[in-house]
Amino acid sequence: MKTYISEQNLNTLLDTLIAEGKRVVAPRMNAGTPLYEPLASADELVTDQLPKRSGKEAFFPLCEDIMSYEKEGQKVSITDIDPARFPETVLVGVRSCDAAAIPVLDAVFSWDYKDEFFLERRKKTTVVGLACTMADDACFCTAVGLSPAETRGSDLFLTPVEGGGYSCETCSEKGEALVKSYTALFAEACSSKALPLAEPQTEKIDLQKVKGWLDNHFEDPAWDSIATRCVGCGACAFVCPVCHCFDIVDEGTEKSGKRRKNWDACGFWKFTHHASGHNPRDQQPKRYRNRIMHKFKYYDDKFGETLCTGCGRCIRLCPVGIDIAGIVEEISKK
Partner 1 sequence: MTQPIDESIYTAVTVAIQAEAQRILSEGLVTAVVGYASARRKGSTQPIVITDAALAEKLIFTPACVNNLAVYLTKAKKEIPKTGRIGIVVKGCDLKALVGLMGESQLKREDLYLIGVPCIGVLGSIIQPDTAFTSDSIAPKCRECDAHLPLGCDFVPSQQPITPELEKKYAAEIDRLEAMTPAERWAYWKEQFSKCIKCYACRQVCPFCFCEQCLCDRNKPQMVETTPRPAGNFAWHIVRAMHLTGRCAGCAECERACPMDIPLNLLNRKMAKELKDLYEYEAGFEVNAKGPLTMFTEKDDQSFIK
Per DSSP, the residues of 37-106 read EE-SSGGG---SS--SS-GGGGTS-SEEEEEEEEEETTEEEEEE--GGGSPPEEEEEEEHHHHTHHHHHH
Distance CA 153, CA 23 (A): 19
Q: Which of 103, 320, 333, 334 binds partner 1 (CB under 8 A)?
A: 320
Q: Which of 69, 182, 268, 303 binds partner 1 (CB under 8 A)?
A: 268
Q: Which of 234, 245, 303, 305 binds partner 1 (CB under 8 A)?
A: 234
Amino acid letter for position 51: P
Question: DSSP letter at 296?
Answer: I
Distance CA 294, CA 240 (A): 13
Q: In the bound complex, what is the minimum distance in angstroms from residue 216's beta carbon to partner 1?
A: 24
Distance CA 160, CA 133 (A): 8
Q: Which of 90, 92, 130, 138 binds partner 1 (CB under 8 A)?
A: 138
Q: Which of 308, 325, 328, 331 binds partner 1 (CB under 8 A)?
A: 325
Q: How far is CA 73 from the centre of its chain?
A: 44
Nearer to partner 1, 40 or 249 (CB): 249
Q: Which of 68, 224, 290, 298 binds partner 1 (CB under 8 A)?
A: 224
Q: Is 271 in the site for partner 1 (CB under 8 A)?
A: no
Nearer to partner 1, 215 or 247 (CB): 247
Q: Which of 53, 121, 291, 297 binds partner 1 (CB under 8 A)?
A: 53
Query: Hey, is 170 helix, strand or coil?
Result: strand
Binding mask 55-74 for partner 1 (x = CB under 8 A): -------xx-----------
Q: Which of 151, 284, 306, 332 binds partner 1 (CB under 8 A)?
A: 284
Distance CA 13, CA 39 (A): 13
Nearer to partner 1, 123 or 270 (CB): 270
Q: Angle 320-134-160 (CA atoms, 0-180°, nearest 5)?
A: 150
Q: Is 31 in the site for partner 1 (CB under 8 A)?
A: yes
Q: Which of 6, 68, 133, 283 binds partner 1 (CB under 8 A)?
A: 283
Q: Nearest Cα to 101, choosing from 275, 313, 259, 267?
A: 313
Q: Nearest Cα to 248, choosing from 111, 115, 101, 98?
A: 115
Do you know the residue count of the chain?
Answer: 334
Binding mask 95-134 for partner 1 (x = CB under 8 A): ----------------------------------------
Q: Interacting stretch for partner 1, rule CB under 8 A, among 88-96, 172-180, 191-199, 244-252?
A: 244-252
Q: Interacting stretch for partner 1, rule CB under 8 A, among 77-85, 165-173, 247-255, 298-306?
A: 247-255
Q: Is 239 in the site for partner 1 (CB under 8 A)?
A: yes
**The 75-80 sheet, strands edge to edge:** 75-80, 63-72, 256-263, 246-252
Q: Nearest Cα to 65, choosing from 86, 92, 44?
A: 86
Are 188 and 30 in contact, with CB atoms under 8 Å apart? no
Nearer to partner 1, 13 or 325 (CB): 325
Q: Is 35 in the site for partner 1 (CB under 8 A)?
A: yes
Q: Which residues bind partner 1 (CB under 8 A)?
A: 30-33, 35, 52-53, 62-63, 136-138, 224, 228-229, 231-235, 237-239, 247, 249, 251, 260, 262-263, 265, 268, 270, 282-285, 315-317, 319-323, 325-326
